[in-house]
């Protein structure tokens, strides 16, 4: 049984129009001096969704252009750059370009290549700017007192997302699963079957604080357990190690690598103190 991919492409075109309208509405109402993180993240997600869908359907011109928009938005939402009126103008202009590129794929006329190149160059130039905040020289401070020895460091590993391998499954099931996954954070396609295939296996990277239990519960509504593989994605950070006498002589040294697994903390219930046999349960007075 073959699946008509064009029907899903039509759904994507409609989603592009919705994402652009949402993005432009947020840009026109944003407080440039003090933009909220929620607004910045919502604008970024709209662009990211357009780029991901365009890549999946092989619309490479849309995907590559939106990638430049996404790069600049990412720097601003991470506060590497301060939002300016110039950024807002560039984003609105980029939205018009994306709309014209998509219209070309719908057979409604080709986009103006000069306008596309001009907007792309503007986005790249703005993304390469040095943050004005970072450029301000800090006030002089007194030199710190000499330190006898550098502190010992330990490496903390944190779960920052998940690698999801889903399949094999039909394309229509993917279209049901993907919007739900995007609700848990930033979803990026790492591997996908040939765009002409009617089924296959997809690999996604999901960045966010969702738990493995929540993701499995969501996916098992539409996929059998054997079609779902979930692995954590870690980042490593060096932090000062605890003082050697923190154990007051009762504990041996611990290994230098600590694992802070966010998903385990979220899904494993705390065990109440059992008293280790020293205390019986007493009724409350």
Pairing status of strand 186-191 against strand 153-170 = unpaired
Q: Is 256 left (phi over 0), alpha (psi -120 to 50) or beta?
A: alpha
The topology (CATH level 3) of 5-129 is: 1.20.120
**What is the Cα–Cα distance from 249 to 60, expressed in whole angstroms?**
62
> Going by C-beta distance under 8 Å and a sequence separation of 6 or more, which residues neighbour residue 280?
none
- Helix (H/G/I), strand (E/B), else coil: 285: coil
Q: Torsions phi, psi of 272, nearest 5?
A: -70, 150
For the chain, the domains span 5-129, 153-241+255-267
pLDDT in tens, 165-221: 988 888 877 777 788 788 788 888 888 888 788 888 889 898 877 888 888 888 887
pLDDT in tens, 42-76: 999 999 999 988 888 889 999 999 999 999 999 99
Give the CA dihedral 120, 121, 127, 129, nearest 10 degrees. Answer: -170
Tell me the Cα Rg of the chain: 25
Q: What percent of the chain has pLDDT over 70?
A: 74
> Going by C-beta distance under 8 Å and a sequence separation of 6 or more, which residues neighbour residue 14?
none
pTM, 2 dp: 0.48
The yes or no reply on domain 153-241+255-267 and CATH 3.30.70.120 is yes
Cα 239 from chain centroid (whole Å): 24
The answer to whether 224 touches 177, Cβ cutoff 8 Å, is no
What is the predicted pLDDT for the residue at 149?
Answer: 67
**What is the Cα–Cα distance from 20 to 43, expressed in whole angstroms?**
9
The answer to whether 161 touches 209, Cβ cutoff 8 Å, is no
Closest CA to 111 of 90, 86, 87, 94: 94
DSSP-assigned beta bridge partners for residue 253? none
């Amino acid at each position: 049984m073959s699946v008509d991919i064009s029907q899903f492409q039509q759904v994507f075109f409609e989603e592009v129009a919705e994402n652009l309208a949402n993005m432009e509405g947020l840009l026109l109402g944003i407080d440039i001096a003090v933009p909220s993180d929620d607004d910045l993240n919502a604008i970024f997600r709209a662009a990211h969704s357009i780029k991901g869908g365009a890549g999946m359907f092989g619309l490479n011109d849309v995907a590559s252009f939106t990638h430049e928009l996404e790069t600049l938005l990412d720097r601003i939402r991470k506060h590497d750059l301060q939002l300016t009126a110039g950024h807002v103008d560039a984003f609105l202009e980029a939205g018009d370009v994306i709309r014209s590129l998509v219209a070309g794929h719908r057979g409604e006329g080709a986009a103006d290549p000069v306008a596309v190149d001009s907007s792309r160059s503007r986005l790249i130039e703005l993304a390469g700017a040095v943050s004005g905040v970072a450029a301000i020289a800090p006030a002089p401070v007194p030199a710190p007192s000499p330190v006898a020895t550098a502190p010992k460091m330990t490496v903390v590993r944190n779960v920052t997302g998940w690698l999801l391998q889903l399949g094999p499954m039909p394309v229509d099931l993917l279209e049901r699963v993907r919007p739900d996954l995007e609700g848990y954070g930033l979803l990026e396609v790492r591997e996908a079957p040939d765009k002409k295939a009617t089924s296959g296996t997809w690999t996604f990277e999901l960045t966010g604080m969702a738990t493995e239990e929540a993701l499995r519960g969501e996916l098992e509504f539409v996929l059998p357990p054997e079609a779902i593989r979930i692995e954590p994605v870690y980042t490593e950070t060096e932090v000062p190690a605890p003082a050697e006498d923190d154990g007051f002589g009762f504990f041996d040294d611990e290994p230098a690598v600590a694992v802070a697994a966010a998903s385990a903390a979220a899904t494993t219930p705390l065990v109440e103190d059992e008293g280790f046999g020293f205390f019986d349960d007493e009724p409350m007075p």
